[in-house]
Structures are given as C-alpha cells and as structure tokens.
Amino acid sequence: MIRARARSLWLLAFVACALAVGWSRPARAYPWMIRHDYGGCATCHVDPSGAGVLTEYGRAQSAILLSSRYGAPADEDPGQTPDFLFGVVPASDVLLLQGWFRNGYIWNESGGQLVDQRLLQMVADLGADVVWKQFRAGARLGYNGFNTAVDSELAWVTPASPAGSLVSREHWAGVSLADDSILLRGGRMNVPFGLRNIEHPSWVRSETRTDINQDQQDGVAVAYSNDWLRGELLGIAGNYQINPDVYRERGYAAFAEFAVAPRLAAGVSSLITHAAADVLTHKETTRQAHGLFVRAAPWKELVFLGEFDALVTRAGAPAEAGYVAFAQADIEPIQGLHAMVTGETLNRGSAGGATSFGEWLGAAWFAVPHVDLRFDAIRRTQSGTPATLTYLLQLQVYL
C-alpha cells in the first residue's frame, strides 16, 4: 500500500426499493433524517451534501431530534447543551467548531476461528468551518493510531509510525452564490456519490471508494440545493496526500437527488476515474460506477435506504463489469434508539470470483446530546470460502 504524505491537505437497492416504491466512522451523516422531513443536508451542515461540521441550527436539531428525551417535551429548548464543548465556547455564526472522538472493540471470526480481537482508536479529529458573508471554508485535522492505520492511510499527512499518524480528511475553501443555493469550492472534499452513509466498510462505499473516512479527493466542486433537488459535481484532480503522482486518480464524480415527496427521495450517481497506477493493484486502471439510490420513510419510525451501482473496471483487456448493492431498514421505536437490518451483495465480474453476500444486524443509542453507542454484527459469505463474522462495539463523543 502506498504511504501517504503531505502535500495539500447507500439487495439491489431493495430491488430498486421494491422497484420504485458498522462500522460508523468520523463525520456524522444520517440519510435516515428524512424521517424528520429533512430531505436535504444544507440546513444542518456547512457541506451541502452532508457530513462534517454542523451549523448552529444543526446542533440544536441533533439534540431535539436525535437524542433520547427521557420524557422531556419535544419542543423543550435544549439550551447550550448542543453547543461546542457543551456551551463552554460561545456559539459563533462565523467560526463553527466541532470535534469527533470514536473508539471501539472488534472481534473477527473466520470459519469459526477467532482471527482478530482488539481495541480500536478510530477517530480523534477537530474541525473548523468559516461562514463569512459569501465566503466558506472548512478543515479537519486529526490523529489515527497505528492499529487503525489501514483505515486512514489515504488521509495521512505524516508517515506511519508506532505512535500513529496525523490525518486531514478535508480542507477546502469556496464561495456561496445565489442566496446560498450554490456552493463553488476547491480543495480536499468528500466524493459526491450515492448514500452518504456512515457504514464505511459497506461494499457500496468501499468498492466505489466513496467513504467519508479516507476516500476524499482534491478537486473543484459545485453543489446545488433547493427544496426539491440537491446535487454536486466534483472534478477530481487526485489525492495529493499520496505519492507519486501516478497513483492519483483523475476524473469526475456526481450525484443528483430528487425529493419525490417529503419523506421519499431518489437519486442517481456517476463516477469515472483513471490512474496510471491503481493504488491497490499498481496497474493502469479506469474505474466506473453508475447507480441509483433511494431514501423512503413510509412511517416516521421506519426508514428504508437502498443503493445499486454498476461497476466497470478496466485494468487491461477486457473490462470487468460487476455490481454492488446495499439495502437497510432503520427502525426507531423510541427516539434515540435505533435497530438496523442491512443486506448487501457484491460481484466484481469474472475476475473477482463468485458473488458475495453480507448481512448486518445493528443497534444504536443516542443516549444524550454529543454521545452515542453502536453495536454491529456482520456476516459475510462467498461461495467456496468460510463465512466471516465481525462484532463491533463503538462509543462516539462529538464536541
């Protein structure tokens, strides 16, 4: 795997959602917020495509809508509790600060044998976004321990060492236009594609290389959002935190999502990149991913998320065509307490072997503002190989 160095800093989309109707990591993005009639992201996040630093309004809504209320009235003012450092630092409309801290414990079994069991230091990041008139900017700097280096390598700004590495997942600057409906920016940003779900090892994220843990890319992006449409196009210039230049992918990634109803949204995604040497295979590679995704809340307590992507990879001749799909039911019987049932499937084409299947059972509890717990049990199978089982317990605190 290439060493990173400093230079810049969502089964077949629920079968296309019945033909129409984790691991959790750093920046918090919840596609199931559509249950609260939040189809878009720009109201609560500086990044109009979701994830990253919350606005002051977003912080208040996280306390009112996400966390367990313990009998408190739904409209009770949360006061300064949602603010940065629980209100120790006065809220500012110009400088928005946020911290993310996540640790976990993992058990991995293969063929009934324990192969991995350890504590994980996952995320320790601080972020700051600036909102001043039409100017916008954002940056994150953090630390990843040595035992989770593989999950952050593409975001390193210092080389691997037994003491861990500094990481920068995002750093960008831009300008807001047309009454904040357009954001034009440049820098290192999340790749706009599909569901911005937090289960970053899910195949829809890992196979398309669009997770929000380390797959950000440098480039120039334009995002648009209004009451019924949101989308973003990123011209990818490469990841300038890896060297040499032959490993940098260049191309584009884009998505557009339409609000069909207050609690139903459907979207399309497209991505094409080319690298002289793929970061994993070291071969000249062109990657394509094109797909559909959907978010639907037939009841406030139940949200369906689905994504299906066609994959085309050319590393020589002929090109390999495959697919990847993700479907999840998120159930919230009591505010703050979630149960998740997820299915996924992956086929990389003839060169990638048989089709793989994954089943996830998860639970999350947003116990109090700023604190959540999550447990996932994940089983993955492929014909001819032993089933793998992963159990992951996580605690996250955000400031």
Mean local confidence (pLDDT), 313-340:
94
Mean local confidence (pLDDT), 325-348:
96
- pLDDT more than 70, % of the chain: 91
pLDDT, residue 27, reads 38
pLDDT, residue 351, reads 65
Residue 22: Cβ within 10 Å count: 22
Residue 18 in this model has a pLDDT that exceeds 80: no
Least confident of 47-61, 113-127, 179-193, 198-212: 47-61
Higher pLDDT pick, 303 / 398: 303
Residue 47 in this model has a pLDDT that exceeds 70: yes
Can you give the pTM of this predicted structure? Answer: 0.88
Take residue 248 and report the two structure tokens written for it: 């940098």
Are the C-beta atoms of 306 and 14 separated by less than 8 Å? Answer: yes
Residue 19 in this model has a pLDDT that exceeds 50: no
**What are 219-257's pLDDT values in tens digits?**
999 999 998 999 999 999 999 999 999 999 999 999 999
**What are 56-90's pLDDT values in tens digits?**
777 777 878 888 988 877 777 777 767 777 777 77
φ/ψ region of 55 (left if φ > 0, alpha if ψ in -120 to 50, else beta) reads beta
Mean local confidence (pLDDT), 309-314:
96
Provide the pairing of β-strand 95-110 with 217-225: unpaired
Residue 55 in this model has a pLDDT that exceeds 90: no
pLDDT, residue 5, reads 36
pLDDT, residue 147, reads 77
Residue identified by tokens 């230091």 is: 121
pLDDT, residue 166, reads 94
Residue 258 in this model has a pLDDT that exceeds 70: yes
Cα–Cα nearest to 148, from 213, 215, 206:
213
Residue 13 in this model has a pLDDT that exceeds 50: no
pLDDT-derived band at 352 (thresholds 50, 70, 90) equals low
Of 163-167, 213-217, 270-274, the range with the highest mean pLDDT is 270-274
